[in-house]
Amino acid sequence: MKWYQLDVERVEQKLQVTSRKGLTTKQVEKRRKQYGYNVLETQKNTSKWLIFLKQFQDFMVLVLLAATLIAGLLGEYIDAIAIMIIVLVNGCFGYFQEQKAEKSLEKLKELSAPLATVLRNEKWEKIYSKEVVVGDIVKVSSGDRIPADIRIVKSSGMETEESTLTGESLPVMKHATAITRDQLEAQDQVNMGFMGTLVTRGSGIGIVVGTGMNTVMGQIASLMANTKKVMTPLERKLAELGKILIVVALFLTALVVMLGVMQGHPIYNMFLAGVSLAVAAIPEGLPAIVTVALSLGVQRMIRKKAIVRKLSAVETLGCASVICSDKTGTMTENKMTVKELFIGGNQLYVTGDGYNLQGDFFLNKEKVDEDYPNLKAMLLYGSLCNNASLQVKKGKQYIDGDPTDGALLIAARKIGLTVNATEKYRIIKEIPFDSDRKRMSVVIEDENQMRYLITKGAPDVLLPRSTYQENAQGRSVLKAADIEKIDEAINGMAEKALRTLAVAIKPLSKNENLDNAFLEKDLTFIGLYGMMDPPRKEVKAAIEECNQAGIKTVMITGDHVKTARAIAQNLNLLPANGLVLEGHQLSEMSVEDLEDVIDDTYVFARVTPEHKLKIVQAFQRKGHIVAMTGDGVNDAPAIKASDIGISMGISGTDVTKEASSLILMDDNFATIKSAIHEGRNIYENIRKFIRYLLASNVGEILVMLFAMLLAMPLPLIPVQILWVNLVTDGLPAMALGLDKSEGDVMKHSPRNPREGVFARGLGYKIITRGILIGIVTLIGFMVTYQNNPDNLIYGQTIAFTTLVMAQLIHVFDCRSEKSVFARNPFENIYLVFAVLSSLLLLLVVIYWEPLQPIFHTTYLGIRDWMLIIVLSALPTVLFGFTKK
Ligand code: ATP
């Protein structure tokens, strides 16, 4: 017998669990041991050794190693060993960097790993999907990916999309009854839910019958493509630029070697020097360091509650010019409280805030009780057509489910309606809420087997479907005058920033058609709820900050236009002449029409998720870089189409999370602002070390080239060149990646996404500083060598020291786009530490006797140091004054 052929009870028996209680911790542990984790084993991890070896895979490094081998064979042991050690240390450094980047990306993956809601020890809890075991009772709802193969126990209008398994993209309706037929394909097993497939509508509960590789998905997992690491735009740009720089560096190196040989330097010496120079000067590691900087930045973002799913988002964040944000939950707290009711033509006020179950109902300052006509009925309807429940955790009330639904439960409690009151009713059918329909309905049956439909939803959706109304005198036809009065009430509530919700019912006969199309019409209007959802405290300031940073904030909401306008005004989001557009207007507009007005529009109300795509497209056509938030399953297309798709960590569905490039752990708008702030900062830091590394390389090549042109001996020997490269490429560059922003990065407009790597004067700065570093090094060498022609080592030590010092001073220049004097050099403690350690290493190489023969160095006196310091400070100080 297959799982789909068994009754739910049999499945429960076989798996030793009941769907009321779930597994116990003991059972879970035992099953975990037996079946392992719920993961698909599609990817093998690259071994650490391979990552280490990869560091030496670069062509020039291989040539260098070969050359060193030849040097060793020729008897130049010291050189050979020294070069080997430097290459090895360099390799280790690369390895650790890569590991660090890898680890932080791993952590990211973990943080954004899918979650599952399971019933364990009689309590619903959220766990990582990989921890689900056979026998777990799981709850899924619209937008979730099913975490394992499940036998459905309960379906509330649950539909799934199984195209990943079956290729069929039409949704499949799920139910819980056993199927007797045999040999069914996955798509016909309509009482099963399969791992990795998507719930598109409704919700359901199921028992896990298969996990990991023992699922239908597991069987085809090996067919799934492995995810490849994709380069971010900047990494790609740098990789391309790298190719050009390789050619330039190789050409210049070849020139150095050729000139050297022509000047009579031994070929072997020139060859080794050339290869070392090429290894040092070719910035092949740039994309890798960018990855490290991005992943370090990503870690900082995690601390600010933003999880980056795609590394490229970090760069794009810095270019964002529009944030389109959902209102409910992102700009507001999503803590709804019913404040007003409209029943039988009268306005009632409700007291008691938040999750406080105490509160009273007032009519014109006079307290009313449960006998007030239709009050109890309306609150009962609100509790029946409801998917939330009130729970207590650590002595505190909280709502499990949709906060709108939760608010209705709390309002009902205020006149003493508890769960007991609703238990008498049986739910026959449910048409779930979604943002497109803007309503939810249930068909219920009472103790006397009387059936009726309860619908709740946006008033402007329900009113046109209502023919009657209920008031103190009973049911009557809903006339134009009544509708006018209701509209007035809606407007009154909305202007106070209250979210409005209408309730209507329809009596049904026992054998009445329960088709969706037939059900939700000719309704009897009962009343309105007006509920408050306060804006989050931080949002107003965050919007203001974005404004100053040249980023426009746009509110998108399914709520009533007046509610939206009131909240937007509270948040200072809507300027006096700003437009507010409504969903029905958007439907009539083409993307081109929208493009004409979009720059003046700040609020979109009563929109459905489909409209969001149009909004993204219109902004993009205007040249904007758009960040778009979303939570529901239907938001995914707009999130995908936007430049930075943002999903919600708490309320978001798996589908939107998968489509997004950024997840807000706290669902908070202010976190988007922090992420943009960080994104801008990371980009500036990347610019800093590109500038530093390339200027260093230019200096290194030029000093050799100038010397050869002037027919001088080699100012630097291969080991020295490699050492400079190691010490400067290493810690100081990394420390620049951790630099704080210069001034306030949120005070200027977003960066142009088409901006090149060398934009805003970066190329000029690299070349000018590089040339000067080359020149001062050469001057140091020339002055010393001309005075001591017999002591080449002395001249080389001066050149070597000047070059290193010039770079270690220049690194402070790279922190500022303006001038080295614009910033306090001790502000970045990592950089100070990195420079001090490089300096210490330099002193060791110069003064520690055993190393002197290896690095061809000799003692330097005070006067030498004075010369070195003056020369090496020159490039930085000079440009510090010119400020260019
Ligand atoms: P935002 O886009 O700002 O996040 P929202 O997504 O909460 O807003 P929707 O959830 O689409 O907006 O809600 C739109 C309207 O649907 C609400 O104004 C309300 O009238 C109605 N509504 C919201 N939640 C429910 C629910 N659970 N049941 C029935 N109707 C609802």
Name residue 239's amino acid: A
Two tokens, residue 404: 């709108």
- pLDDT, residue 46, reads 67
Ligand 1 binding pocket mutation candidate from 461, 501, 563 (most atoms within 8 A of CB): 501
- pLDDT (tens digit, 9 = 90+) per residue, 288-313? 778 778 888 888 888 899 998 888 88
Mutate which of 435, 556, 650, 653 for ligand 1? The one with the most ligand atoms within 8 Å of its CB, which is: 435
Give the CATH number, domain containing residue 573.
3.40.50.1000
| Ligand 1 atom closest to residue 459's alpha carbon, by position in its atom list | 20
The pLDDT value recorded for residue 409 is 94
Across 821-827, average pLDDT: 83
Pseudo-torsion of CA 802, 803, 808, 809, nearest 10°? Answer: 60
CA 557 / ligand 1 centre spacing (Å) = 8
Q: Residue 632: CB within 6 Å of ligand 1? A: no
How close is the Cα of 626 to the center of ligand 1, in Å?
24
Supply the residue whose CA is at minimum distance from atom 31 of ligand 1.
457
Q: Is the pLDDT of residue 223 over 60?
A: no
- pLDDT of the residue at 27: 93
Does pLDDT of 883 surpass 70? no
Residue 708 lies in a domain: yes
Is the CB of 404 within 6 Å of ligand 1? yes
Of all protein residues, the one whose alpha carbon is nearest to atom 22 of ligand 1 is 457
Lowest mean pLDDT across 40-49, 185-194, 740-749: 40-49
DSSP 202-258: EEEEEEEEE-GGGSHHHHHHTTSPPPPPPPPHHHHHHHHHHHHHHHHHHHHHHHHHH
Ligand 1: does its nearest atom lie under 6 Å from the Cβ of 470? no
Shared domain for 526 and 547, answered yes or no, is no
In CATH, what number is assigned to the domain containing residue 398? Answer: 3.40.1110.10
* For the CA of 387, the nearest atom of ligand 1: 27
Q: How many A from CA of 202 to the centre of ligand 1?
A: 15
Among 328, 438, 563, say which to mutate for ligand 1: greatest number of ligand atoms within 8 Å of CB.
Answer: 438
Average pLDDT over residues 477-484: 93
pLDDT band at 451 (very low <50, low <70, confident <90, very high): very high
Say whether both 389 and 527 belong to one domain: yes
Best probe residue, ligand 1, of 441, 557, 560, 561 (max atoms within 8 Å of C-beta): 557
Domain co-membership, 344 together with 418? yes
What spacing in Å lies between the alpha carbon of 559 and ligand 1's midpoint? 6
List the one residue out of 277, 149, 158, 172 whose CA is nearest residue 220: 149
Q: Does 255 have pLDDT greater than 60?
A: yes
* Better pLDDT: 526 or 517: 526
Q: Is residue 789 part of a domain?
A: yes
**Backbone torsions φ then ψ of 523, nearest 5 degrees:** -85, 165
More confident residue, 270 or 440: 440
Q: Does residue 696 share a domain with residue 631?
A: no
Which residue would you say has higher pLDDT here, 288 or 257? Answer: 257
For residues 869-877, give the mean pLDDT.
92
Which one has a higher pLDDT value, 160 or 280? Answer: 160
Which pLDDT value is given to residue 224? 46
pLDDT higher at 552 or 228: 552
Residue 347 lies in a domain: yes
Q: Is the CB of 328 under 6 A from ligand 1?
A: yes
Question: What are the tens digits of pLDDT across the range 660-675?
Answer: 999 999 999 999 999 9
Q: For ligand 1, what atom is nearest to the CA of residue 327?
A: 3
pLDDT confidence of residue 97: 76
Query: How far apart are alpha carbons 464 and 454 in whole angstroms?
Result: 16
Q: Is 456 close to ligand 1, i.e. is its CB under 6 Å away?
A: yes
Q: Which residue, of 639, 667, 695, is where some domain finishes?
A: 667
Q: Ligand 1 center to residue 439 CA distance, Å?
A: 8
Q: Of 489, 515, 532, which one is at a domain's C-terminal end?
A: 532
In this structure, of 22-36, 100-114, 564-578, 802-816, the range with the lowest mean pLDDT score is 100-114
**Reported confidence tier of residue 535, pLDDT bands at 50, 70, 90:** very high
Q: Which of 383, 387, 404 to mutate to test the pocket of ligand 1 (most atoms within 8 A of CB)?
A: 404
522 conformational bin, left if phi > 0, alpha if psi -120 to 50, beta if neither? left
CA 335 to chain centre: 24
Backbone angles phi, psi at 366, to 5 degrees: -105, 130
Contacts (Cβ under 8 Å, ≥6 apart) of 863: none
Position 102 in a domain: no
- pLDDT tens-digit map of 625-654: 999 999 877 788 899 899 999 999 888 888
- Is residue 103 a part of any domain in this protein? no
pLDDT band at 570 (very low <50, low <70, confident <90, very high): very high
pLDDT score recorded for residue 180: 86
Q: Identify which has the larger pLDDT, 840 or 246.
A: 840
Pick the catalytic residue from 136, 144, 326, 631.
Answer: 326
| pLDDT confidence of residue 221 | 62
Smallest CA separation from ligand 1 atom 12, residue: 558
Look at ligand 1, atom 13, and give the residue with the nearest C-alpha.
558
What is d(CA 564, CA 381) in angstroms, rounded to the nearest whole number? Answer: 26
More confident residue, 455 or 510: 455
pLDDT for the residue 43: 55
In a domain, 514, yes or no: yes
Same domain for 483 and 409: yes
In which band, very low, low, confident or very high, does the pLDDT at 227 lie, cut at 50, 70 and 90?
A: very low
Q: Residue 146: name the closest of 175, 118, 166 by CA.
A: 118
What pLDDT does 453 receive? Answer: 95
Q: Whose CA is nearest to atom 10 of ligand 1?
A: 435
Question: Would you state the pLDDT for residue 225?
Answer: 42
Residue 228 pLDDT more than 80?
no
Reduce the DSSP state of residue 121 to 3 states and report it. coil
Kindly report, residue by residue over 403-412, the tens digit of the pLDDT. Answer: 999 999 999 9
189-198, 314-323, 817-826: least confidently modelled range: 817-826
- Domain membership of residue 785 (yes or no) is yes
How many percent of the chain have pLDDT more than 90?
48
Number of domains in the chain: 4
Among protein residues, the one with the nearest Cα to ligand 1's atom 6 is 558
Q: Does any ligand 1 atom lie closer than 6 A to the CB of residue 327?
A: yes
Give the residue among 715, 696, 717 at the shortest CA–CA distance from 704.
715
Is 152 found in the same domain as 239? no
Residues 747 and 615 in one domain: no
296 vs 707, which has greater pLDDT?
A: 707
Q: Are residues 494 and 579 in the same domain?
A: no
pLDDT tens-digit series, residues 67-114: 788 778 877 777 788 788 878 887 887 788 778 777 777 777 777 778
At 782, which CATH number?
1.20.1110.10
Atom 18 of ligand 1: nearest residue by CA position: 559
According to DSSP H, which parts of 304-374 are helical?
Answer: 312-317
Position 42 scores a pLDDT of 57
The pLDDT confidence band at residue 162, using thresholds 50, 70 and 90, is confident
**pLDDT digits over 747-764, tens only?**
889 988 888 888 888 999
Same domain, 544 and 681: no
C-alpha 441 to ligand 1 mean position (Å): 14
Looking at the fold, whether 736 and 837 belong to one and the same domain comes out as yes
- What average pLDDT does the segment 443-447 reach? 91
Q: Give 342's pLDDT tier (boundaries 50, 70, 90).
A: very high
User: Are 734 and 821 contained in the same domain?
Assistant: yes
Predicted pLDDT of residue 226: 43
Transcribe 58-112 into DSSP letters: SHHHHHHHHHHHHHHHTT-HHHHHHHHHHHHHHHHHHHHHHHHHHHHHHHHHHHT
Cα 435 to middle of ligand 1, angstroms: 6
Within-domain flag for 159: yes
Mean pLDDT, rounded, for 379-385 = 95
End-of-domain residue from the set 164, 188, 220: 220
Q: Look up 533 and say whether it is catalytic.
A: no
DSSP strand pairing (115-120 vs 451-457): unpaired
Q: Is residue 807's pLDDT more than 80?
A: yes
Mean pLDDT estimate for the chain: 88
Ligand 1 close to Cβ of residue 325 (< 6 A)? no
Range of the domain at 828: 234-302+676-878
The single-letter code of the amino acid at 88 is: L
Buried b (16+ CB within 10 A) or exposed e, 117-135: bbbbeeeeeebebbbbbbb
Expressed in angstroms and rounded, the spacing between residue 406 Cα and the centre of ligand 1 is 13
Q: Same domain for 462 and 566?
A: no
CATH assignment at residue 38: 2.70.150.10
Ligand 1: which residue has its CA nearest to atom 14?
558
